[in-house]
Amino acid sequence: MASDLECPECQQKLSKRTSRCPACNASIGAAGGREEREDRDRPATKRKYRRDWDDDDDDDRPTRRPQQKSGVGSTLGVVFVVVGIVVLLMCGGAFFAFTQFKKAADNIRDQVNQPFPNAPGWNPNRPAPPPVKDASQYGRLEPAQVDPALRDGLIVPLDDLTPYDVAQGDWKLGLKGAIGDGSSWVEVNKTVYERAIGMHPPNRGASRASFKLDGLARTFRGEAAIASGVFGSDPWSPVTFRVYADGEQIWQSAPLTKRDQKEPFRLTVAGVRRLTLEVRCEDSAMYAHAAWLEPTLEK
């Protein structure tokens, strides 16, 4: 096959690629020949000829050959990219799982410590229960005088008296029907009690409140109950109610384990100066919405 290479000096046709023209001994190099000169101007990926010199007797320079790229570097790069993406996905998944777990834990906590619009005892058409106060807002010492409500009445609701020496649990002490969460009434067996004392105990502890009787009452009656609660769930551990007269226990309920469960009592308190109500939970107090229903003093 005839070659179209030619010498750039004498235009002598060359039979092969060479570094010097055999006719005029002119240096040709890599630029020898019209086709190769045109090929040099093409992009590297579209070139037809290699950029080298032929080995001949007139030129002892070594042949320059293109370096072949190794695929090891590109393969490692791909591996690093894939590993980086996997690590990022794992970190993102762990962070998402953590946020979801924290959100679920916060929701469980809010079910106990915050009001919920659809809770038993919550009715948008019913006036809100009386506001609740923190235990620190009640006095620690016995009042100097008895409440006028007890002094003047014959049958007196206990929640009309001002408590003292209050110890609260997860919720605050609720009086006059307040369950203690700040927005709900005491409800047991679908009955809302506007005369009740809400007393939610703490975990593995007791909530209590004392009242000054000064020996003016003879009988104390009512019911100990587990209110339906925010979501109507059973308490996670048994709840026990106790009544103390001047520091001595005079009554204790059976352990209550179900919502809407209640136990009545009628006690003689003649001559008692200090009446103390206590609710105790030996383990978790979750859903332990304890309440004293219609606690009443009779003279």
The ranges assigned to domains in the chain are 1-64, 135-298
What tokens does 164 get?
Answer: 């003292």
Instruction: Please enumerate, as own/partner, the contacts of 125-129 that have beta carbons within 8 Å and a separation of 24 or more.
Output: 126/185, 126/192, 128/183, 129/174, 129/176, 129/177, 129/178, 129/179, 129/183, 129/184, 129/185
Cβ neighbors of 82 (< 8 A, separation 6 or more) are none
Would you state the pLDDT for residue 74? 73
The backbone torsions φ and ψ at residue 294, rounded to the nearest 5 degrees and listed phi first, read: 45, 55
CA angle at 251 for the pair 173 and 269, rounded to the nearest 5°: 85
- Secondary structure class of 252 (helix, strand, coil): strand
Length of the chain: 299
Between the two ends of the chain, the Cα-to-Cα distance in Å is 133
What tokens does 188 get?
Answer: 């047991």
Distance of CA 172 to the CA centre of its chain: 24
User: How many beta carbons lie within 10 A of that of residue 237, not counting itself?
Assistant: 18
What tokens does 190 get?
Answer: 């679908």
Q: In 3-state terms, the chain is what percent helix, strand and coil (to 5)?
A: 20, 25, 50
CA angle at 211 for the pair 208 and 214, rounded to the nearest 5°: 145
What tokens does 129 get?
Answer: 């229960």
CATH number of this structure's domain 135-298: 2.60.120.1060
What residues form DSSP beta bridges with 252? 242
pLDDT < 70 stretches in the chain: 1-5, 8-9, 14-20, 25-73, 107-126, 229-232
User: How many beta carbons lie within 10 A of that of residue 67, not counting itself?
Assistant: 6
User: How many beta carbons lie within 10 A of that of residue 154, not counting itself?
Assistant: 7
The closest alpha carbon to 293, from 147, 121, 148, belongs to 121
Q: What Å distances lie between residue 88 and 8, 93, 95, 100, 115, CA to CA? A: 61, 8, 10, 18, 40
Would you state the pLDDT for residue 42? 63
Q: What Å distances lie between residue 188 and 138, 271, 292, CA to CA? A: 27, 32, 11
